[in-house]
Amino acid sequence: MHDDDIANTMRALGHPVRLEILRILATQQQGQCCCADVTDSLTLAQSTVSQHIKVLLDAGLIERKPHGTRNRYYLRHDRLAELSSSFGGLLKGLAPVAANKETEQA
């Protein structure tokens, strides 16, 4: 993951509503959840929620699966893990040189 990608993902996470949406998705068993569920849990218009979802979608943090008349959204745990790793790498890169160890992984 490059700077731009990390920055992109960070920006997607850089909004409390989006964080909340991720949490809502995580709360559903199996992670299945449709837009209406999210909208019900927030005090925002459906179009706004849909827009936030799109941001998360574009950032690759969630996944959309059409299911009949509604869409289901899933957390992408793989990408979350990847982000975690990239973020860890970023922080390690920022750590003082003296404390730098050799624990790199991609």
- Per CB under 7 A, residues contacting DNA are 11, 14-15, 17, 34-36, 39, 43-48, 50-55, 64, 66, 68-71
Binding status of residue 18 toward a copy of itself by CB under 8 A: yes
Instruction: Please choose which of DNA, a copy of itself, none residue 70 contacts, taking the beta carbon within 5 to 8 angstroms, the exact cut-off set by kind.
Output: DNA
Pairwise CA distance, residues 26 & 38, whole Å: 11
* Backbone conformation region of residue 79, classed left if phi is above 0, alpha if psi is from -120 to 50, else beta: alpha
Closest CA to 35 of 15, 59, 60, 54: 54
Say which residue the tokens 């993902």 belong to. 9
Binding status of residue 60 toward a copy of itself by CB under 8 A: no
Instruction: Please choose which of a copy of itself, DNA, none residue 46 contacts, taking the beta carbon within 5 to 8 angstroms, the exact cut-off set by kind.
Output: DNA
Instruction: Supply the minimum distance, in Å, between the C-beta of residue 34 and a copy of itself.
Output: 18
